[in-house]
Every structure is written in C-alpha cells, then in structure tokens.
Structure 1
Amino acid sequence: MSLLDILASTLGNSPQQGGQPAQSGQAALIAAALEFVNSQPGGIMGLLQRFQQHGAGDIVQSWIGTGENKPISPDTLTNVLGQDNVGALAQKAGVSGDQLSGMLAAVLPHVIDRATPNGEVPPEGQLDLTGVLGSLGGLAGLFGKSEEPKQG
C-alpha cells in the first residue's frame, strides 16, 4: 500500500471505496507535504532554515513549539517553498498552484505541530509517518470532513 493509499484510507476515502477526486487530492496534498518536508536536507530542521532564510522563521518555529500556531499566508508559503516546488507539489496533488498554496497554508502548520509533540523535533528531523497519520482525524476537518458526533 502506497503512502497515498494509506492517507486516503485514513481520511476515509480509499480509491477502492470509490473516493471523491477532491478528497483524493487532499490525501495527495498531505502525502506531498510529508514527502517535501522529509526530502529537505535535515528534514524539519532544513525546512526551518528555509523559513528563516525567507524571513518566516518565527512562523514555522510556532508550529514546532508548544504554543499557538501562527498562520501563514499562501503567498508567504509560496515565497518560502519556491514557485518550482509549489508547482511540483501541485502537480502531485492534482490541483493548481494557487489551490495548493492555500490548502498547504492550512495543513502544514498542523502537520508540523503534530509531528513535533512537546516542541521536540525528531532526532533525524524526519516526520514520523505513523504519528502524523494518527493525527489526521483532526486534519480531515480542515477539508470539510468532520468526525462523527459523540453520543452522550
């Protein structure tokens, strides 16, 4: 099972279940975000350096830290990641560059936050797939898919 299949299944939308293209794109976006972070030299720390080089180090540091996550605008995110990287990620996710920037601006803070519990970056700097997947139930709400209401 590929990373995309695992993510789609976690979001309740596996291709075998006839999932909707938009939700498949969301799973692809998260997969692309994970792959992008892990492909940076130094993983999360490499991404942190990239944000610092573009004047947005305080934003990504808030995602790693234990406090409130600072928002990032799609334009700032595109500036940090680079237009070529945004285009490549958009192609993988099957969305336009503008759509990707907006969706990634909403998702990336949560992915980084959940991948760095207690403000601790993993020793090798790589995102832990299992840990992030365990947090995706909460991320699904960002895409309009909410969890079942609790009976009480």
Structure 2
Amino acid sequence: MGLLDSVLGQVLGGGAQQQQPGGGLGGLGDLGGLAGALGGLLANNGEQGGLGGLGGLVTKFEQAGMGDVIGSWIGKGENAPVSGNQLNDVLGSDTIAAIASKLGINAQTLLPMLATMLPALIDHLTPHGKVPEEGVGNHDDLLASLSGLLQKG
C-alpha cells in the first residue's frame, strides 16, 4: 500500500499537523487521528457519525445513487474512484465538519484524504466481496484493521 501512504503523506504534509493529544495510533500521527475518525464512522455501534456501521454507509451511498461505487469497494476487482465532493454529498456536510474538527483540519483538507482512504479501507474490511453479516466490528477492531492496512508496504 505504498501508494496510499505516499498520497496521504502528501495530503497530510500540507498543514494538517494539529493533532489532538492521544489521537495518534502507533506513531501514525495524523493518520492515527483519521483512523479514529473512520473507525467511528464505520464501527457497528455507529459512534461518531451515527451511520450504523458499514451497512449504514452502504445505504447512504445507495440513497445518493452511488451504490455501484461503494459496491466496487466491497466487491472483488477494481475500486471505483470517488471525489471529495461526492463524499460530502453522501455523508453530509455536518459529518464531514465533525470529522475535520476532530482532526483540527478543514473540510477541504479532509475530503481528498477520505476519497483516497475510504475505498481502500472498505476494500480491506470486506475481503470476501460482501459486507459481513455481523458487521465490520467495533471501533477498536477497525483501528487495528486500519493500522494493518497503513503498515502494508
């Protein structure tokens, strides 16, 4: 996943250095904060964004007419690209603003990071090509998965 690390390093390198204390994950700095935000968004208990886990996120994409996009991330094969603006439309500006605020960055900095990281994370969390019936786990499970994804080289 060297490309993901490279892209995120470039995005994060431009002024996203305001990390809340304790927000890092294993020395990942701002990536750890983003990991925490994504974990909260996708966790089964739906903490943070209240989306209802990965299943809730799939529903949001379907309601926005983008079910095929998130379906490509879950299914096997190439991940369809998504733009920051599309994510803003799907997740809602309040959710984006809340995540950006938690990370100490603005939404315009966050959106390209999410557009790069979310497809890779969802692809990683669904290795069998479908959303697991039991969901993708709690916040801690997701942090461990994301940490593993970022450390792959």
Same fold (TM over 0.5): yes
Contact 2:23–2:33 (CA<8 Å) still a contact in 1?
Answer: no
Secondary structure of the equivalent of 1:71? coil
Runs of 4+ deviating beyond 6 Å: none
Shift of 1:5: 5.7
Q: Which runs of 5+ in 1 are unaligned?
A: 14-22, 142-146, 148-152
User: Pick from 104, 113, 130: which aligns with 2:114?
Assistant: 104
Cα separation, partners in 2 of 1:132 and 1:116, compared to 1, 3 Å: farther
- Cα deviation for residue 42 of structure 1 reads 4.1
Q: Tell me how large the CA RMSD over aligned residues is.
A: 2.5
What are the within-5 Å matches in structure 2 for residues 1-150 of structure 1? 8-9=25-26, 13=27, 23-38=28-43, 39=46, 40=50, 42-127=52-137, 129-130=140-141, 133-134=144-145, 136-139=147-150, 147=153
Greater relative contact order structure (CA < 8 Å, 6+ sep): 2
Q: Any stretches of 5+ residues in structure 2 without a counterpart?
A: 1-20
The structural deviation recorded for 1:26 is: 1.9
- Whether the aligned pair in 2 keeps the contact of 1:51 and 1:80 (CA below 8 Å) is yes
Alignment partners' CA distance in 1, 2:143 and 2:125: 6
TM-score normalised by structure 1 residue count: 0.72
Query: Which structure carries more helix by proportion?
Result: 1
Q: Which has the larger radius of gyration?
A: 1
Tell me the TM-score normalized by structure 2: 0.71
Aligned sequence identity (%): 36
Aligned residue pairs total 127
Contact 2:24–2:31 (CA under 8 A) maintained in structure 1: no
